[in-house]
C-alpha cells in the first residue's frame, strides 16, 4: 500500500477509535444524571454530544503529551501507529460488550506502548514522558476518591438543616449544570488523545515537519467524539451510575463536579487522565462519606480489575496486531 494511503487508513482508524471512545465513555458524563432522573436519556446524550464537541476544540496540550510523550514521532511508522489503534479498539469493544467502564485512555496508551515495543523494543520508549503520563493516570483517581469524600462532607455540612427530600429536589435541578461541566471536560481531555495520535501519524509519514495539531484534525476528532457520544452506551451507564452505589441527585452533583474539576485541571496541565477512572472513584468517594457500606465493593473490585488489566492487555493486543500488520504493510 502506498505510504499516503496507509496514512489515511491510520487516520480513519483513529477516528473510529475516537467514535468508539465517545460511546464507550458517554457514561462518564451522563450516567449519574440519567439514573437520578435529572435528565432524560435523549436530553442527556444531546447535551453531552454538544459539550464534548465544544470541549474538544478548546486546547491541544494533552494532544502534545500523547503524540510526543510516549515515543519520538520520527522514530515510528504508520504501521506501528495503526497497530496501536487496533489494540485499543479491540480492548474497548471487549470491555463495552462486558459492560465494564475500563479506560479508553489506558487502552490507547497501552496500545502505543505495545506496538512500539514490538517494533523496536523498550529502548524506543520516552520514559520521561511516560512518567508524566503514568503519574497523571495514577494520581487522578486517588484524587477523585479523596476530593469526592470531602466535597460530599462539605455539601452535607452546608445543607445540614435542609430536609433530604427538599435537598434532592434542589440538586436534581443543578445536577444538569454539573453534568454539562463533566461533558465539557470529558471532550477537552479525551478527544485530544486522538488528535495526538493523528498528528503523530502525520509527522511519522512526512506530511508534517513539526508536531503542530492542524485545525482539520481538531474538528475531525471533535466531531467523531460527539457522534460517538450521541450513539450512547447504556451498558456502561448502568455500571457507573447504578451498580457502584444507589445514587440520589446530591450524590450525582458531588461526583460529577469533583470529577470535572480534576479533569479540567489535568487538561490545563497537559496531563492525560482517564475520565472513567476519575468519575468512578469520585462516586466511590462520595458514597464513602455517607456510609462505607453504601458502595457495592464487589462491583468496584471488578471495575478495578478492568483498570489494572487494560494497559497490559491492550499493549499485548497491539503488539500482536503489529506482527500481523507488518506482514501486510511492512514495518
- Cell 463533566: give the residue: 182
Q: Which residues of 6-42 are buried (b: 16+ CB within 10 A; e: fewer)?
A: bbebbbebbbbbbbbbbbbbbbbbbbbbbbbebbeee
pLDDT the model gives residue 247: 67
Burial label, 175 (beta-carbon count in 10 A; 0-12, 13-18, 19+)? buried
**143: which 3 cell numbers?**
484524587
Query: Number of structural domains, the chain?
Result: 1
Q: What is the CA radius of gyration of the chain?
A: 19
- pLDDT digit of tens for each residue in the chain (331 aa)? 556 889 999 999 999 999 888 776 665 566 667 766 777 777 877 888 888 899 888 888 999 999 989 998 888 999 999 999 999 999 888 877 776 656 778 889 999 999 999 999 999 999 999 999 999 988 998 899 899 999 999 998 988 888 877 777 888 888 888 888 988 998 889 889 999 999 999 998 889 988 999 999 999 999 998 888 777 655 555 555 445 445 678 888 898 899 999 999 999 999 999 887 888 888 888 888 876 665 666 656 666 676 778 889 999 999 999 999 998 887 7
- Given a contact cutoff of 8 angstroms between Cβ atoms, the answer to whether 310 and 91 are in contact is yes
Among residues 172, 147, 168, the alpha carbon closest in space to that of 159 is found at 168
What is the extent of the structural domain holding 126?
3-329
What is the DSSP track for 63-77? HHHHHHHSB-GGG--
**233: which 3 cell numbers?**
452506551
**Alpha-carbon dihedral of residues 282, 287, 290, 296, nearest 10 degrees?**
-160
**248: which 3 cell numbers?**
440520589
- Given a contact cutoff of 8 angstroms between Cβ atoms, the answer to whether 21 and 226 are in contact is no
What angle in degrees, to the nearest 10, is found between the helix axes of 297-329 and 78-97? 150
Amino acid at each position: 500500500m502506498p505510504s499516503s494511503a496507509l496514512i489515511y487508513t491510520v487516520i480513519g482508524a483513529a477516528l473510529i477509535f475516537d467514535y468508539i471512545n465517545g460511546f464507550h465513555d458517554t457514561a462518564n458524563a451522563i450516567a449519574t444524571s440519567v439514573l437520578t432522573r435529572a435528565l432524560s436519556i435523549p436530553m442527556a446524550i444531546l447535551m453531552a454530544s454538544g459539550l464534548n464537541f465544544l470541549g474538544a476544540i478548546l486546547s491541544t496540550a494533552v494532544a502534545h503529551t500523547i503524540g510526543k510523550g510516549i515515543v519520538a514521532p520520527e522514530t515510528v511508522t504508520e504501521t506501528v501507529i495503526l497497530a496501536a489503534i487496533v489494540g485499543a479498539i479491540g480492548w474497548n469493544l471487549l470491555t463495552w460488550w462486558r459492560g465494564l467502564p475500563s479506560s479508553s485512555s489506558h487502552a490507547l496508551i497501552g496500545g502505543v506502548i505495545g506496538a512500539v515495543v514490538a517494533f523496536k523494543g523498550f529502548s524506543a520508549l520516552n520514559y520521561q514522558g511516560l512518567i508524566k503520563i503514568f503519574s497523571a493516570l495514577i494520581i487522578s483517581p486517588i484524587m477523585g476518591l479523596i476530593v469526592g469524600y470531602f466535597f460530599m462532607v462539605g455539601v452535607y455540612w452546608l445543607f445540614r438543616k435542609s430536609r433530604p427530600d427538599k435537598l434532592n429536589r434542589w440538586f436534581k435541578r443543578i445536577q444538569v449544570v454539573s453534568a454539562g461541566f463533566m461533558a465539557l471536560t470529558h471532550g477537552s481531555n479525551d478527544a485530544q488523545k486522538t488528535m495526538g495520535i493523528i498528528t503523530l501519524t502525520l509527522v511519522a509519514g512526512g506530511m508534517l515537519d513539526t508536531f503542530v495539531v492542524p485545525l482539520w484534525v481538531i474538528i475531525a476528532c471533535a466531531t467523531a467524539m460527539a457522534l460517538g457520544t450521541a450513539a450512547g452506551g447504556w451498558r456502561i451507564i448502568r455500571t457507573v451510575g447504578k451498580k457502584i452505589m444507589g445514587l440520589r441527585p446530591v450524590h450525582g452533583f458531588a461526583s460529577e463536579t469533583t470529577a470535572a474539576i480534576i479533569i479540567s485541571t489535568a487538561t490545563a496541565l497537559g496531563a492525560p487522565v482517564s475520565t472513567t477512572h476519575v468519575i468512578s472513584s469520585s462516586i466511590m468517594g462520595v458514597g464513602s462519606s455517607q456510609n462505607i457500606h453504601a458502595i457495592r465493593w464487589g462491583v468496584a473490585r471488578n471495575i478495578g480489575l478492568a483498570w489494572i488489566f487494560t494497559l497490559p492487555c491492550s499493549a499485548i493486543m497491539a503488539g500482536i496486531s503489529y506482527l500481523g500488520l507488518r506482514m501486510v504493510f511492512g514495518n
